[in-house]
């Protein structure tokens, strides 16, 4: 687990990169002399937004699933579902 200083630093980095992306997009839209740098920053940030970094596998790290054939009879209470 990351400490508060690491989370704060990560949040500041994300905020800075977001500000840089918005600067590039606004410069492309509003300025007539925007160049390759602004286009590359805007396209790169947009491309990163397409990555499925928020996706997690069905069996998350906190939940461990055990195949049904390994579970002994009666070890799981009847009122709990085995499949999630």
- CA nearest to 76, candidates 68, 84, 21: 68
Question: How many domains, in total, are found in the chain?
Answer: 1
- CA nearest to 46, candidates 28, 25, 29: 25
pLDDT digits (tens, 9 = 90+) for 58-83: 655 555 555 656 655 656 555 555 55
Domain assignment present for residue 12? The answer is no
pLDDT digits (tens, 9 = 90+) for 16-56: 988 998 999 999 889 888 888 888 888 888 777 777 766 66
Task: Supply the range of the domain harboring residue 31.
Answer: 21-49
pLDDT of residue 45: 82
pLDDT of residue 57: 65
pLDDT of residue 82: 54
Domain assignment present for residue 80? The answer is no
């Amino acid at each position: 687990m990351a400490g508060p200083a690491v989370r704060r630093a990560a949040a500041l980095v994300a905020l800075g990169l977001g500000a840089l992306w918005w600067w590039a997009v606004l410069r492309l839209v509003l300025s007539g002399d925007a160049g390759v740098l602004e286009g590359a920053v805007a396209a790169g940030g947009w491309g990163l937004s397409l990555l499925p970094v928020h996706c997690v596998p069905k069996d998350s790290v906190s939940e461990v699933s055990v195949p049904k054939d390994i579970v002994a009879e009666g070890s799981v209470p009847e009122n709990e579902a085995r499949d999630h």
